[in-house]
Structure 1
Amino acid sequence: MKKRALATAMWGMCASATAETAPQAALELYVDTKTQQIYAEPGPGRQKLGRFVRAEEGATAGVTATQSATAVSATPVAVVAAPVASSVKSSKWYDRIGLRGYVQMRYNQEAGGDAKDLRAPGDKFIGKDQGFGIRRARVVLSGDVSDRMSIYLQPDLASTPTGSSTTNFAQLRDAYADIYFDKAKTFRVRAGQSKVPYGWEDLQSSQNRLAMDRADALNSAVRDERDLGLFFYYSPGVAAERFSYLQKSGLKGSGDYGVVGLGFYNGQGANRPDRNDQLHTVLHLTYPFKFANGQYLEVGADAYAGRYKVASPTSVSIGGSTFTPSVNAPAEGSVDRRVAAHVIYYPQPFGFQAEWTVGRGPELDVARKTIRTKSLRGGYAQVMYKFDGEFGSLMPYVKWQTYRGGSKFDTNAPRMLVDELDVGVEWQPVKEVEIAVAYANMRRTDVTTAPYARVDGNLIRLQLQLNY
């Protein structure tokens, strides 16, 4: 509407200003879609207004009194004639679709202990005989199809299927549409495969996250943070503006998943079909408060419940005994439910964030040689400080995490014991480039292979992220 009003005003100022002037060369004009600034050449974020003809100052013959007054008061310089063609009126839905993405390259170096034997769900390049690896290669196609619907499509070109000896396969991450119930976009339903609104850090994109990996206690709830279902979100205007600002300002926001969210999803994880005809239900509550001094604080809580069917158990050898565990659960699967709370004090410049979760889920009971429902708990705390200067943005951080509970997505759902401390810094010299360096002391269970040993090791970790 702003661009249309701008073009109309330009036409109103001088609709007939060229009636008695000599023909001039046509000039193409472009408008920046964010700032509404007019330009004479194309560029990023600029939309073509049309072709205009330059007219001499004072050429007002044939102009009505109102038009003449407008032209004189509005501009002391040359005026332009009506556009030959208006691209605003002829705009198609595909003109509003954007393309972006990012790539993350990782390198982990052993720095003591049994680092070569470490395994972590968040980084497949941890372990012996590792070199450079591409952790993420994302391309996002998104935009507004109309005033009432937007789309979001995101594949990852750096996936590794289970059991594969090669990397960098393409796999779907997100494929959904937001359908809005009102013009203000306060109420919407998200249909398709998307992030399940459980856990604040799980909703935060890897592109925005400060620490290298998500905390296991929260991330063990939903495989790849995503599932297929319907999610209803309520985002009042003030909160929606704050969510957007916190994500785009460099303060490491998680995005807009509503002040209130309610979802129904399969429960088996991303890119996996449902196995029990039993939908999971999730409830999400959060609010970003803004203090008088400009400081942002976000607090909230989440909960989900459902039944999860573990993968078929396999034979294991633990403590001198070899057995194939049974599954102590009904046909529809094991009880799977959790609650969590979060508090985020955004780095302005000092920041703090923490989350904690408790619940029950499937876990291998070695003594009983069975997989049964057991309790779980865990969380993390992180402090950070944001420096903005001539050489970009610098953000050091310290993160501690712990988890005691089953790893339901791994074969036999072994018990996972995690105690980890990360100390690192992220440097963003320009918005397109981010460099992160971290030291990590990891004490965690290798849940990939029996007898599920607990490994203690130290790593130096490097990451280069390219945003485009």
Structure 2
Amino acid sequence: MAARSLLPFSSPLLFASMSVFSALAFAQTPPALELYVDSETQQIFAEPGAGRVKLGTFQMVEPADAVTTVEPSTGLTQPEPAAEVAVGNNGLDVEGNNGFSMRLGGRMHADGSYSSDDNLLKRGTANDYEAVSGTEIRRGRLALRGTAYHDFDYIIEADFGGNKTSVKDLFLTYTGFDPLEITVGNQKHAMSMEIQESSNDIMFNERSLLSALTVPHFDRAIGVNLKSSGNDWSLQSGIYGDGMSSSGGGRDEGYGWGIRGTIAPINTEDRLVHLGANFGHREANEINSLSNSGSTAFRYETTNMSDLYLADTGALTNFESISLGIVEAAAKLGPLSIQSEYGQAKVDQVRVADLEFAAWYVQMGLSLTGESRVYRGSDGEFKRLRQNRLFAPAQGSWGAWELAVRLDQLDLEDGIVLGGRQRRASLNLNGYLNNNVRVLFGYSRAFDIENSPLTTLDGGEPEDIDILSVRTQWTF
């Protein structure tokens, strides 16, 4: 009897243990799943139905691995940080964080001029010759400049002044070989302090008589320029073809080269001594003319719109080449600045005697409100002065005012070429209303006029001629 008590199912503890193990085994056994397929649509169903055929009974053998969601790759890099955009007195600036920048700027020069007694004749003719007085938009420019890939600087500048469109600066500069800069495109020749200075910064409405030798042949042209500079010195040289306006005419164009060096042994905020020298040479095209200027004449117009040339050689039909040397000097002492250049040109001609022309100027500026003109040693040039106060009469502030005087001379006479000789004295009062607006009031007198292509009605030399000019300048 006692043995019966040892049977498995007679033990409550053993029965409870077996129940627990059975429950665990059942919990670990995955449930079976019957699947059916629709014979027409081939869709899978978990329940029987019309048109459905049983596929079988399915049971999960092992639990699936954990699923990790992976974002699909677009193949694109992360977006660049947003560019910084600013609008101020320098125009519209866009500055990126990746070596790119861009600035949109421009200028407007609205001019008016009046010439005194100009009842003249073209020498040797009975044709009346009068200066034009009136108004014009002398310059209306838009410029886009900036940097790409850290080391490439660019500028694109178009001029809409004078009721016509032309391209001024259009070039690319590589700065990665510091301190060497390589510039390719339409640019100024490496010549003359006055030519290098922007029309936004010069102290007079018109450039000096020296420009009769520089501008026609050594202003802007397409070429390659190498430059190296420091805070107090600069050295640059380039070789150039024709300018953007050259039509070519189916002929080989002319070419030229130039070199300019400057040094400022004294260069502080209010003291300066500047010395410079430059030399340039230009060859005519194959028909002894200059494609970029359309004329081999040396001449000077009293204002941009006057159409009055008191000195003019006329077109030199035997022109072959020109060589021009210039020496320059400048100084600054607080609000006082002085600047001067002397240039001499030699013109080689075919089958006739060579010619020599010369020009010079001396100018002085005095800030009546105490500011100094800005000098940039790396370019060897003056910039406009920066006023200490804005023009705001209601607050008792009148901006900055500058008085400038200049004496210059041009000699276009040599041998049988009588292009004339003249001197000129100029006086300017310039007001700097803010960083963007400047007004210029100018007076000049042309005197000592000799062998001019113009004469008085009785055949004599022109009398002294007075010219009044005014400009409103807006830059950004």
Q: Same fold (TM over 0.5)?
A: yes
- Per the alignment, residue 265 of structure 1 pairs with 240
**Pair 1:101 & 2:119 matched:** no
The partner residue of 1:436 within 435, 440, 443 is 440
Mapped to 2, the partners of 1:118 and 1:391 lie a distance apart of: 46
The partner residue of 2:225 within 227, 231, 241 is 231
- Per the alignment, residue 54 of structure 1 pairs with none
**Pair 1:379 & 2:360 matched:** yes
Q: Deviations over 1:334-387 (max 9, x none)?
A: 1300110111213620111100011212689xxxxx975301111100011013
The partner residue of 2:280 within 285, 304, 310 is 304
Q: Deviations over 1:265-318 (max 9, x none)?
A: 12x55522566555312111012343567412221000012323336899xxxx
The partner residue of 2:412 within 375, 387, 405 is 405
Q: Would the aligned equivalents of 1:227 and 1:270 in 2 still touch at CA under 8 Å? A: yes
Change in Cα spacing, 1:179 to 1:414, as seen in structure 2 (3 Å) is farther
Q: In percent, how many aligned pairs have the same letter?
A: 14
Mapped to 1, the partners of 2:93 and 2:193 lie a distance apart of: 40
The partner residue of 2:150 within 147, 152, 163 is 147
Give the alignment's TM-score, normalised by structure 1. Answer: 0.61
**Pair 1:133 & 2:127 matched:** no
Q: Would the aligned equivalents of 2:338 and 2:362 in 1 still touch at CA under 8 Å? A: yes
**Pair 1:395 & 2:395 matched:** no
Q: Which amino acid aligns with 1:356?
A: Y
Ranges in structure 2 where 5+ consecutive residues have no aligned partner: 1-80, 123-128, 298-313, 370-388, 390-396
Mapped to 2, the partners of 1:270 and 1:117 lie a distance apart of: 35
Mapped to 2, the partners of 1:46 and 1:222 lie a distance apart of: 29
Mapped to 2, the partners of 1:452 and 1:269 lie a distance apart of: 39
Residue-pair matches, total: 331
Mapped to 2, the partners of 1:434 and 1:360 lie a distance apart of: 38
Mapped to 1, the partners of 2:364 and 2:296 lie a distance apart of: 40
- Per the alignment, residue 174 of structure 1 pairs with 169
**Pair 1:207 & 2:200 matched:** yes
Query: How well do the aligned residues superpose, as a CA RMSD in angstroms?
Result: 4.0
Q: Deviations over 1:131-158 (max 9, x none)?
A: 2211111111101112221101111101
Mapped to 2, the partners of 1:431 and 1:129 lie a distance apart of: 32
- Per the alignment, residue 324 of structure 2 pairs with 338
- Per the alignment, residue 266 of structure 2 pairs with 290
Give the alignment's TM-score, normalised by structure 2. Answer: 0.60
Change in Cα spacing, 1:31 to 1:441, as seen in structure 2 (3 Å) is same
Q: Would the aligned equivalents of 1:360 and 1:374 in 2 still touch at CA under 8 Å? A: yes
Change in Cα spacing, 1:117 to 1:261, as seen in structure 2 (3 Å) is farther
Q: Deviations over 1:22-61 (max 9, x none)?
A: xxxxxxx99989xxxxxxxx76489999xxxxxxxxxxxx
- Per the alignment, residue 419 of structure 1 pairs with 423
Q: Which amino acid aligns with 1:381?
A: V
- Per the alignment, residue 213 of structure 2 pairs with 220
Ranges in structure 1 where 5+ consecutive residues have no aligned partner: 1-28, 34-41, 50-86, 120-125, 160-167, 240-257, 315-323, 365-369
Change in Cα spacing, 1:278 to 1:342, as seen in structure 2 (3 Å) is same
Mapped to 2, the partners of 1:46 and 1:138 lie a distance apart of: 13
The partner residue of 1:460 within 452, 458, 468 is 468
> 1:88 Cα shift?
5.7
Residue aligned with 1:215, SS: coil
> 1:429 Cα shift?
1.6
Change in Cα spacing, 1:339 to 1:288, as seen in structure 2 (3 Å) is same
- Per the alignment, residue 255 of structure 1 pairs with none
Q: Would the aligned equivalents of 1:347 and 1:384 in 2 still touch at CA under 8 Å? A: no
Q: Deviations over 1:398-445 (max 9, x none)?
A: 1111111279xxxx9972423111011101121221111111102468
